[in-house]
Amino acid sequence: MLVLRPIRGDDFAALKQIAIESGHGFTSLPVDDELLQAKIERSERSVEKHVNGPGDEGYLFVLQDTESGDIVGTTGIEAAVGMSVPLYHYRRSTSVHHSPSLDVYNRVDTLSMCNDYTGCSEICTLFLREPYRRGLTGRFLSRIRFLFMAEHSDRFSDTIIAEMRGVSDEHGHSPFWQWLQQHFFSIEFPQADHLVGLGDKTFISELMPKYPIYVNLLSEAAQGVIGQVHDNTKPALRLLQREGFEHRGYVDLFDAGPTVEAKLGNISTVRQSKVCPILIKEQLEPQATTWALCNDKVADFRAIFSDAVEYCDIKHQLYISAEAADTLGVSQGDSVRFFALSSR
């Protein structure tokens, strides 16, 4: 069985291996021992805090194989972005140039740097190791964050965002950044990407153009990747779109990947989820529906997915196996939040 839980200090080596495997463009997990350790410690502090609203909390979870003990993936949530370290985006909009006397009317796309998402919650740091990228595991790892947020909504903003990885080649070079580098910077994309991952964003305000950029002045290669995602990110984007996330014109400063957003209460998983006390059976036969379930805890949060679950909608009764109850850390009569992950 696979179980999702908050990260702990003894998960450092596994997290570093995930950071190495994630490669270029995965700025939330740079290969830096000090920063990775700080992320773990911050998450440990966050789950122990009693909060009345979103602040400088970061929740990092790991997916563990209960049989082998291996850490096979990670996923995270930032409670409120841009509060201590600025969060910059480009906002894509349209500028109209009109001359009635010459009967000329032109609409030109522009990119303007902004901090419009300050204070929003962000889902981030989703990575699943290659041997486990099959079946429902990736879908579970993406959607289970919404159960945690629904169960503890006072810890998060009403607006949830996700920054999607933009287009870059196998060496980590971005066509969009190459244009910026030529005109405004003198560093390679991987270096800029690494600095952002380290939290060093001073160079952005120092070197980034302060005025809107006319998109038609960019190279064709740079124009072609604005709002587009990396091939490896397309499945993650499709999952979020099915959840109700939309792209409203905001893109990353460096690779021009899209940032998508949704209201927490409108997210499909949140709307579909139910809360119900459990009844424990020693053994349950596999059912046609695979369910994702989580307990109602924070520091001791646990989540699993299983088809050895029976739910009677009419009676509002949920039966789970003794193994599942033990993994979730719940007892007879305790409530869990759950949703249908897949049906066959």
**Based on the number of CB atoms within 10 Å of its own CB, is 81 exposed (0-12), middle (13-18) or buried (19 or more)?**
buried
Cβ 304 vs Cβ 327: under 8 Å: yes
89 residue type, one letter? H
Q: Tokens in use for 286? A: 């596999």
User: For residues 267 and 326, what is the distance between their CA atoms, to the nearest angstrom?
Assistant: 29
Catalytic one among 97, 171, 230, 316? 230
**Residue 230 is among the residues annotated as catalytic for this protein:** yes
In 3D, which of 54, 55, 49, 40 has the Cα closest to residue 7?
A: 40
SS3 content of the chain, % helix, strand, coil (to 5): 30, 30, 35
Cβ 198 vs Cβ 30: under 8 Å: yes
Residues labelled as active-site residues = 230
